């Protein structure tokens, strides 16, 4: 399982661990990923996604999964999230 957020594309970053003596060694900064179930109002279904805590806050701020995906860039989304976005767009157009 990759360590990449399915909604924002946020992944691991690299940097240095700096000791008190100012010795530097490489390390990885991993995103805070959580497996959450998000509900789509348009489709009436829930989806389990592995997203970062910051993305979860953004989803809540924008008013739910449907509103978040409507404004999200396709490049940042995973294949599963992109399929959900297309399904929501089809369902909204049909109504």
Q: What are the structural domain ranges in the chain?
A: 13-94
Identify the pLDDT of residue 2: 87
Other CB atoms within 10 A of residue 38 CB: 21
Q: What pTM was computed for the model?
A: 0.87
Identify the pLDDT of residue 31: 97
Per-residue pLDDT band at 75 (split at 50, 70, 90) = very high
What's the whole-number mean pLDDT along residues 51-78? 96
Identify the pLDDT of residue 86: 96
The two tokens of residue 95 are 């109504």
Identify the pLDDT of residue 1: 75
Which is it for the CA torsion 57, 76, 88, 80, positive or negative? Answer: negative
Q: Is 13-94 a domain of CATH 3.30.1120.10?
A: no
């Amino acid at each position: 399982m990759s360590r990449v957020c399915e909604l924002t594309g946020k992944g691991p970053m690299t940097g240095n661990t700096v000791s008190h003596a100012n010795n530097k060694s490489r390390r990885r900064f991993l995103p805070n990923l959580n497996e959450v179930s998000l509900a789509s109002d348009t489709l009436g279904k829930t989806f389990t996604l592995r997203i970062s805590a910051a993305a979860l806050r953004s989803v809540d701020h924008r008013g739910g999964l449907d509103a978040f995906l409507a404004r999200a860039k396709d490049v940042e989304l995973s294949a599963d999230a992109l399929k959900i976005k297309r399904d929501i767009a089809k369902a909204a157009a049909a109504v």
